[in-house]
Amino acid sequence: CSRCQRRHRGLPEAAEAQASRGPGRRGPGPGPDAGSLTKQAERTVATDWKKKLTPEQFYVTRQKGTEPPFSGIYLNNTEPGIYYCLCCNAPLFSSEKKYDSGTGWPSFSEAYGTCGRDESNTNIMRRPDNSLGSTRTEVICKQCDAHLGHVFDDGPAPSRQRFCINSLSLNFKRGSSR
C-alpha cells in the first residue's frame, strides 16, 4: 500500500533490489518452480554454504538449529537499523519492531515490509514445524530458505506476533530503520 511504500522508502539500494525480486526469487534465472534439486546438487549447495558460514551459522540457518537462549549478539542490541538475512542479505526486520520478550532471543512484532497484516512484501515465509512433538510455525528467508526462527501468537498489540529469531541467522546494519 502507499503508506507502506512511503515508510520503507529509506531502504538501501542493494536491499531494495533484493526485495523487489518478489516472493521466492533468488536472483537471476529461473524461479522456484524450475524443478527440484538432485541429491548431488543438494550436497553441492550444502558444501557451498559450509564454506561461506561458520559451523554455528550453518547449523542454525541450513540445518534448522537454534542458538542457546541469551547467547545471541543481537539480543540486547538497541541501535536503529535493519536486520538482514546472514545468508543472502535480504532485509528481514527493522529495529523499530524489535522488543524484549524475555525469551532469550531477539524478538520482533512484524517483518520488514509488513503493511497491516499483509506480509506479501516481506522476505519471510512461514512453514508448519512439527519437529519437537508440538506444532510451531517456522520462519524462513523467502530468498534463500535460511531458517531464521519461529513466530508465535503471544506478542504485543496490535500484531500479537512474536518473531523469535536466532542472532546467528542475522546481520545488522546500523542506520535508518525505515
Q: Compute the average pLDDT of residues 96-119.
A: 96
In this prediction, residue 178 has a pLDDT band, given cuts at 50, 70 and 90, of low
Reply yes or no on whether the pLDDT at 22 is more than 50.
no
pLDDT digits (tens, 9 = 90+) for 104-114: 999 999 999 99
**pLDDT at residue 25 tops 60:** no
d(CA 88, CA 171): 10
Are residues 15 and 123 in contact, defined by beta-carbon separation less than 8 angstroms? no
User: Which residue type occupies 28?
Assistant: P
Q: Which residue has the higher pLDDT, 175 or 172?
A: 172
- Superfamily, domain 2-21+41-174: Peptide methionine sulfoxide reductase. (2.170.150.20)
pLDDT in tens, 40-53: 777 778 879 999 99
Tell me what the mean pLDDT of segment 52-60 comes to: 97
Query: The whole model's pTM is what?
Result: 0.78
pLDDT classification of 13: cutoffs 50, 70, 90:
very low
pLDDT band at 163 (very low <50, low <70, confident <90, very high): very high
Pairing of strands 147-152, 91-94: unpaired
The answer to whether residues 74 and 170 touch, using CB atoms and an 8 Å cutoff, is yes
Q: What value, to the nearest 5°, has the Cα angle with vertex 106 and ends 105 and 112?
A: 145
Confidence class for position 100, pLDDT limits 50, 70, 90: very high
Q: Which residues are catalytic?
A: 164
Q: Which neighbouring-strand residues pair with 98?
A: 108
Tell me which residue has cell 500484531: 159
Please check the confidence at residue 11 and state whether its pLDDT lies above 60.
no
The domain ranges of the chain are 2-21+41-174
- % of the chain exceeding 70 in pLDDT: 78
